[in-house]
Structure 1
């Protein structure tokens, strides 16, 4: 490791600890590296601009963010919740089960855990705590845990970013996330059923069967959104990036023309929110692109590959090490930073060991998403703490059973790659 690289790492850590966003810190550290190593500092701008403007896939990120926000401001989420309540609300702990089911369905629309928690998650929190039906900390913990499913079932913003650093197919990554996402949802529903019976949670009044067709028809445009989105991709009509644009346009048309629930002010706020969120993610991507150039020049990925392959690891042993590493990093670092900085260093080793890139991507994304509910950082924990106004200690305690259940699902997905690869192979994947 050269002196220039040590200076860059030291500056990035120092600036991050002082509160500078990690994207800015990486750009500053990369410039210092180029300066100390005697290279042209204009390389930083070149890498940034080339990476941002030649990667068509990056356009999918702001479009999925906008689609999720348009769904939140309209009545689409309310109709989705009514549909889910008609399906599973009649069981003990029914509203808690509704929380999980709506996250599974909403996952097929937004691609973002934050969008899920901030949108339908707020509504579920209010519904579950009304009249003291459920403890506020339990409702917040379940909302945070179920929101994790959002970026695993397609579409998925983290999978788009993984495709950016790994050159894996976005379409097959999306397919690979379907079964694991459903498995995570099932694991949460089992835990909810156990806790509901043990703590005697209420049973909701069943929705009459004669009302079900009407509720379904009112929610049908919302339910069809994943079909439109994924049908366009796998039918060959759109690329994943174009499908993101279709998703945003579809959400706008349904909310404005069909449901008539969005004002111009609402639309403007959605655009502003999407722009702010995109700018934040864009700066992080830009910093990662520049810093990854530095990491490549230092030959860090190849050095790590030689080091790990010298251990004669099996693919499974490597994946277990990656799981442990990413879960530990997820306790401390923001998920996008891990995806753009740490994962590119691991990819050459994974390829050398014969790990399938789609399976690896799904495992990586699940690990990063679990970091959102893992203390002490756990961004979703802090979001739901603000939404529910509950002590963080109580929220963490209620989250633990759900986290352990999802870790169990992650172990199954790690040990059995066919769960991830079955659907992609069914549609032509050769990996």
Structure 2
């Protein structure tokens, strides 16, 4: 690569601005504008690509609506009711509260679609519950909250899968249903590891919930548990589009929070709207920057060049997937997940398609890989979030995260080599890819 070429200079500017603390979306726009200037192209093309990409995609509207639904569900007594329900189900097993942490992440995942929203919504509460009376060390509690939050973006609704659908043109409905078994697999391997660690370390078991209490606990949590049923039912019955289903999810969350549970006041609603707006704007700017930078990548013909290079290596489909996993794992150590989805996956997808790899399988595998990057140093965002919540060092946190990373990588390997785990449910729903 010519280090003085417009593309190389644009990359250097993006990296430099990012290292200086400029948001990645703004950095990509800045580097792209420089590229257009050096190539003698109309710099207004950047604004054209940004506006066309963001305002012509109805699917993008689903992202702030899913974020709003998660913010509303995180307020008031909804989370408390869900935790009591999860405790009644798995609290009696070895490592009771640790098992509850994973199960509540699975339940909350079907409402938020965001790992950061999951960690922010329940991380602080689970940290306090698990470390009370010295039941678990702060490092283990924080590590578990971080890794269990990774389940969120795999199960539907998933914001990262929405982003992948945006850049790949793949059906978001089939992507959502394809993430169910890999997401449950991720939860299963985490709960299995907790069981082993509980036996070795003597983790406490929570008191059994009396059978007579189960109907009341289930009844209290039932309206919240119905949200994913309503969301997915609307989508897969064909009644609504994914974006319309996201709007129904946000409205339903508000209805049960303010109307049924009466746990949300005007101030709580304002805070939920404000936090949702901030997160949506952050993701929106990242998407905008990626759209402009993707135009630069396309102009340089990088996807076609990379595809020819990959085909020249004479890789089998499995060999290519293993190479992609390695690339994404390394990138996940340094880059934020949405950036990888929006910038790297459009470059790799043409090669995957040429090798006959199903785009739904490729997308779910890639998103699972990228989400593991959220708990991989040195950049793992979930690690930094839980460090602040638990007030523990990265060294302490990583010691307890490492065993979970190993079993999660095992789950990733299984998803990679066994496409039917991803594609079985979509095919039952009529997928013919």
TM-score class normalised by the smaller sequence: over 0.9
**Following the alignment from structure 1 to structure 2, what is the Cα–Cα distance between the partners of residues 208 and 18?**
56
**Following the alignment from structure 1 to structure 2, what is the Cα–Cα distance between the partners of residues 186 and 137?**
21
Deviation of the 1:125 alpha carbon: 1.1
| 1:321 and 2:323 correspond | yes
Give the aligned CA root-mean-square deviation in angstroms. 0.8
**Following the alignment from structure 1 to structure 2, what is the Cα–Cα distance between the partners of residues 360 and 66?**
28
| 1:213 and 2:219 correspond | no
SS in 2 for 1:73: coil
Structure 2 residue corresponding to 1:57, chosen from 50, 56, 59: 59
**Following the alignment from structure 2 to structure 1, what is the Cα–Cα distance between the partners of residues 84 and 12?**
52
Residue of structure 2 in register with 1:226 after alignment:
228
TM-score when normalising by structure 1: 0.99
Deviation of the 1:15 alpha carbon: 1.3
**Following the alignment from structure 1 to structure 2, what is the Cα–Cα distance between the partners of residues 74 and 351?**
46
For structure 1, the residue ranges without an aligned partner over 5 or more in a row are none
**Following the alignment from structure 2 to structure 1, what is the Cα–Cα distance between the partners of residues 299 and 22?**
25
**Following the alignment from structure 2 to structure 1, what is the Cα–Cα distance between the partners of residues 107 and 272?**
21
Residue of structure 2 in register with 1:116 after alignment:
118
**Following the alignment from structure 1 to structure 2, what is the Cα–Cα distance between the partners of residues 392 and 290?**
35
**Following the alignment from structure 1 to structure 2, what is the Cα–Cα distance between the partners of residues 85 and 339?**
35
Structure 1 residue corresponding to 2:69, chosen from 64, 67, 87: 67
Deviation of the 1:74 alpha carbon: 2.3
Residue of structure 2 in register with 1:31 after alignment:
33
User: What does 1:83-162 align with in structure 2 at a 5 Å threshold?
Assistant: 83-162=85-164
Deviation of the 1:100 alpha carbon: 0.6
Structure 1 residue corresponding to 2:23, chosen from 21, 24, 33: 21
**Following the alignment from structure 1 to structure 2, what is the Cα–Cα distance between the partners of residues 32 and 134?**
52
Structure 1 residue corresponding to 2:252, chosen from 244, 250, 253: 250
Q: Deviations over 1:192-227 (max 9, x none)?
A: 000011000111110001110110011001111110
| 1:407 and 2:409 correspond | yes
**Following the alignment from structure 1 to structure 2, what is the Cα–Cα distance between the partners of residues 324 and 311?**
16
Q: Deviations over 1:221-258 (max 9, x none)?
A: 11111100000000111111111111111110000000
Residue of structure 1 in register with 2:9 after alignment:
7
For structure 2, the residue ranges without an aligned partner over 5 or more in a row are none
Deviation of the 1:398 alpha carbon: 0.2
TM-score when normalising by structure 2: 0.98
Residue of structure 2 in register with 1:299 after alignment:
301
Matched pairs, number: 431
**Following the alignment from structure 2 to structure 1, what is the Cα–Cα distance between the partners of residues 334 and 17?**
16
Structure 1 residue corresponding to 2:178, chosen from 176, 179, 182: 176
**Following the alignment from structure 2 to structure 1, what is the Cα–Cα distance between the partners of residues 247 and 324?**
34
